[in-house]
Chains A and B, each alone.
Chain A
């Protein structure tokens, strides 16, 4: 029997020894007083962790952050309802924020705070506010597609020249926001026809924008529809000079030029926490807006803060003529994508 004993001893020593390395602090400290602000962040710690530290330093508020996937956190918040421990939902896309608002889980933000952001980048009822912008772009492989051949409009993507060469991420929130924008700007029928032609043209589907960027970079497909900042993430990882992929914008007014936002909402469960509004206020401060411009390569939404120099200015991105609350009909887009067979 000493074999069994030996094996158990090995395991026990390993478990005890390694557990001792654990940070332990969050595990043992469950008291509500210790955390002054609980943030559910659908934005990666790598992207916004330092910003939250800046907030803590500036405000003296201690923030406890639960990082997760934006949509999954939204689903979690829906399940938690009024019992949620969270004060703030910091989300990667407007759709998730709108769902939280629609379910009555968000509270109105003070007008003087949200007014810092143009009306088309916040909720119609001031229940959430965009904190940074991300433009939809077409990404192309520079070895396979000369810059002048890159399509000027999404409608060109159904051309036989691009058969099997276009990557999209139909399950992705940003792609769906674009389809919603297209439904609003060119109509339901035209959008459906375009999607069907796109499928007939052997469009390639990917899990997310990053996978599209990798595939275009590798030449698996020549073009892809993505968000602008993934290119900069990729460049930070492997070096811009090692990439064979670039961003391009469509022509003026094209639905493919939509600008989406990441944003924040104060939850009903965080309404009586004074730090909640402080946090939202901070995200719209010059300091935070500059952080988004420099560190995450996104568009600052508060006037007077410039985006990074190698990006076309927000004012020059000529997207479809609509406001973000017109994009609320996610359900209709979801049904359409199911109908044509992309979901």
Chain B
């Protein structure tokens, strides 16, 4: 059957092409090596060993994020847990903790930590929001009528959840799991401090130890293949669940489940998880500040870095949303091969280490748009390429929740497709879209390697300032910047919490 291609297909395909520009660079670099060289790089025993290690770690983190994140999202949106919607703000904050800061603070407290288990735990804690935020966004939108109908037909609460709500959550949870897996593949900070050898470490080592851009490019392409494994896996899990509905009906706000005496253990679990993910690193940083002999308050730099960070990450988020919206909407509304290919392609760059994306834009930027080199526009573009996939899953699952019937009504009333999207779909799927933008914004705020290469010279962000101090071992002076990152993340999280947990 021939696929009928719409303008949306074209738009989304262009966006996906833009997002894979780093691959172009990797092919150029790989192409400069002979097959013999490439084979020699691939045939190193460590290449296979580290692929397995990376896959294992990424799978473990993704599994943990889903296993903890889904119940957590349910507790925060559907139960009468003490604290209520306040927790939705907190739920986004772990994302603002850079993995190397989290790893360092754990090491400062427990110097003997090393290897797989701590890396797994630290990366799971910081990636938890990848699952919690989109799942909470869906839960706040799901019509409680499904559940109620199942209950009236005789299902118990668990069975009803499994048969009605869970299938609606699953796409968002799987997409979140995918993001945490890709983030883990690209991570360098936590695994290097916790001494667990992964594939990304070897890529960094190629640059750092041998200034060998060819090996790094070849290995990065392998990393892309590893990432595609997860993309395909996620798609396979997701395609088992398709949602169809005759009409949207008039959904009510779901009643919150009174937890009774269970609310205290539930609260303990929530406090414990967020405490480990955000509270613990912050407490250790405060301790390091108190113990330090060279800590000096420098409000001028704090403020300047804060402004710069918001500016750069804000531009990045806008660019990322421009790219992610057509892709996400296409993925929600079309299941043809083109749509699938476009969506998969858009996830690839997220698994690439920042240093690879940074260098690729150094090369491509100077070749294609030298005037934009080392400007905020190019930095924003780098953030978009690195993080647009963070928004796609949320946009897709939120759009899928909007009944086509409502869109069709708008069309029959004379609205064109774009206007329909803006007036109907966008508004109904706003929590999901904003959750996506939030994920991009917060992850872009803490980005380091690409920022170091592409920021305007002299333009310091919270992440670069933090790095300045951590390279000389002064975590006390880095600490204020980490605090600001977490505080900053709370602002978009607050905006999101206004939407989530209540139908608009």
Q: Which of A10-57 contact B (CB under 8 A)?
A: 10-11, 14-15, 18-27, 30, 35, 38, 44-47
**Interface: B1 (CB within 8 A):** no
Residue of A whose beta carbon sits closest to that of B113: A220
Determine whether the beta carbon of A27 is less than 8 Å from that of B491. Answer: no
Please count the residue pairs between chain A and chain B whose beta carbons lie under 8 angstroms apart in the complex.
203
A93–B38 Cα gap in the complex (Å)?
Answer: 28
Q: CB distance A64 to B202 under 8 Å?
A: no
* Among candidates B202, B452, B472, residue contacting A47 with C-beta atoms closer than 8 Å: B472
A83 to B367, CA, bound (A): 9
B310, A19: Cβ atoms closer than 8 Å: yes
Chain A residue with minimal CB distance to B452?
Answer: A68
A85 within 8 A of B: yes
**Would B471 and A44 count as touching, CB distance under 8 A?**
yes
* B209 CB contacts on chain A under 8 angstroms: 71, 171, 173, 176, 330, 334, 337, 343
Is B430 a contact of A4 with CB atoms below 8 Å? yes
What's the tally of chain B residues with a CB closer than 8 Å to chain A? 74
Residue with the greatest number of chain A CB neighbours at <10 A, chosen from B208, B293, B375:
B208
Name the segment of B67-75, B128-136, B223-231, B495-503 touching the other chain.
B495-503
Residue contacts A-B, CB under 8 angstroms, 17 given: A4-B504, A7-B499, A21-B307, A27-B311, A68-B452, A79-B213, A171-B205, A171-B209, A204-B195, A205-B195, A210-B472, A210-B473, A220-B111, A220-B112, A234-B473, A237-B474, A338-B46
Residue pair A207, B193 in contact (C-beta under 8 Å): yes
In the bound complex, do residue B469 and residue A46 qualify as a contact, i.e. CB atoms below 8 Å apart? yes
Q: Mark B35-48, 1 if CB is under 8 A from A, else 0.
A: 00000000011100
For the complex, is A135 an interface residue (Cβ under 8 Å from B)? no
The answer to whether B457 and A1 have CB atoms under 8 Å apart is: no
User: Please, which residues of chain A bring their CB within 8 A of the CB of B292?
Assistant: 237-238
Interface stretch of the complex, out of A193-201, A211-219, A254-262 = A211-219
Whether A304 is near chain B, meaning CB under 8 Å from some CB there, is: no
Classify chain A: how many residues form its interface, as a range: 35 or more
B471-482 Cβ-contact flags toward A at 8 Å (1 or 0): 111101100000
Within 8 A of B (CB), among A73-91: 74-76, 78-80, 83, 85
B280: Cβ under 8 A from any A Cβ: no
Q: Which residues of B contact A71 (CB under 8 A)?
A: 207-209, 211
Complex CA distance for A74 and B201, rounded to whole angstroms:
18
Within the complex, the shortest CB–CB distance from A260 to chain B, in Å, comes to 15
Task: Tell whether, in the assembled complex, residue A207 and residue B192 are in contact, meaning their CB atoms are under 8 Å apart.
Answer: yes
Within 8 A of A (CB), among B362-403: 362-363, 366, 370, 373-376
Q: Which of A26, A76, A83, A207 contacts B458 (CB 8 A)?
A: A26
Judged by DSSP, the binding face of B is: helix
Give complex CA distance A95, B456 in Å: 27
Given contacts A46-B472, A214-B111, contact A236 B293 (CB under 8 A): yes
Cross-chain contact B293 with A27 (CB below 8 angstroms): no
Do residues B491 and A10 form an inter-chain contact, with CB atoms below 8 A? yes
Considering the chains assembled together, what is the distance between the CA atoms of A7 and B476 in angstroms?
34
Smallest beta-carbon distance A301→chain B, Å: 21
In whole angstroms, how far apart are the Cα atoms of A7 and B195 in the complex? 42
B111/A26 in contact, CB under 8 A: no
The smallest C-beta distance from B263 to any residue of chain A, in angstroms, reads 27
Asked if B362 and A237 sit within 8 Å, CB to CB, the answer is no
Please list the 3 inter-chain residue pairs (A to B) with the smallest Cβ-Cβ separation, ordered nearest first.
A22-B307, A21-B307, A218-B111
From residue A277, how far is it (CB to closest CB) to chain B in Å?
Answer: 20
Also in contact, A15 and B362, with CB within 8 A (given A220-B112, A343-B202): no
Instruction: Known contacts A75-B213, A80-B366, A334-B210; decide if A14 and B452 are in contact (CB<8 Å).
Output: no
Q: Does A60 contact B (CB under 8 A)?
A: no
Q: Do residues B473 and A230 form an inter-chain contact, with CB atoms below 8 A?
A: yes
Task: Assess whether A155 is interfacial by the CB under 8 Å rule.
Answer: no
Taking a contact as CB atoms under 8 Å apart, the answer to whether B498 and A26 are in contact is no
Nearest CB in chain A: distance from B36 CB, A: 15
Chain A CB within 8 A of B304 CB: yes
**In contact, B291 and A4 (Cβ under 8 angstroms):** no
CB distance from B464 to the nearest CB of A (A): 7
Task: Type the 1/0 row for A211-245, where 1 means its CB is closer than 8 Å to any CB of B.
Answer: 10111001110000000001001101111001000
Query: Which of B205, B310, B472, B498 makes the CB contact (< 8 A) with A44?
Result: B472
Asked if A30 meets B211 with Cβ closer than 8 Å, knowing A19-B310, A233-B473, the reply is: no
Q: A61 on the interface (CB 8 Å rule)?
A: no
* Cβ of B415 to closest chain A Cβ, rounded Å: 16
| Residue among A8, A27, A79 with the highest chain B CB neighbour number at 10 A | A79
Contacts of A236 in B (CB 8 A): 293-294
Contact B491 A22 (CB under 8 A): no
Q: Is B94 positioned at the interface, with any CB of A under 8 Å from its CB? A: no
User: Is B488 positioned at the interface, with any CB of A under 8 Å from its CB?
Assistant: yes
Q: What residues of chain B lie closer than 8 Å to A24, measured between beta carbons?
A: 307
A314 close to chain B: CB less than 8 A:
no
**Chain B residue contacts of A8, Cβ below 8 A:** 434, 495
User: Taking A4-B499, A7-B495, A65-B457 as contacts, is the C-beta distance between A21 and B303 under 8 angstroms?
Assistant: yes
Q: Is B319 an interface residue (CB 8 A)?
A: no
Q: How far is the CA of A95 from the CA of B208 in the complex (A)?
A: 10
Chain B residues with CB under 8 A of A4? 427, 430, 434, 499, 504
Q: Is the CB of A22 within 8 A of B457?
A: no
Is A308 in contact with chain B by the CB < 8 A criterion? no
Residues of the A chain whose Cβ atoms lie less than 8 Å from the Cβ of B210: 330-331, 334
In angstroms, Cα B287 to Cα A238, docked, is: 11
| Chain A residues within 8 Å of B491, by CB | 10-11, 14
A residues less than 8 Å from B359 (CB atoms)? 75-76, 79
In the complex with contacts A237-B294, A337-B209, A65-B195 CB distance below 8 A: no
CB closest residue in chain B, given A14 = B491
**CB nearest neighbor in B for A7:** B495
Closest to B293 in A: A239
Q: Is A143 an interface residue (CB 8 A)?
A: no
Query: In the complex, which residues of chain A have a beta carbon less than 8 angstroms from the beta carbon of B498?
Result: 3, 6-7, 10
- Is B459 located at the chain interface by the 8 A CB criterion? yes
Chain B residues lying within 8 Å of A214, measured Cβ to Cβ, are 107-108, 111, 473
Residues in B neighbouring A21, C-beta threshold 8 A? 303-304, 306-307, 310
Q: Which residue of A lies closest to B453 (CB)?
A: A76
Which residue in chain A gives the minimum CB-CB distance to B502?
A3
Chain A contacts for B375, CB-based, 8 A? 27, 30
Within 8 A of A (CB), among B79-93: none
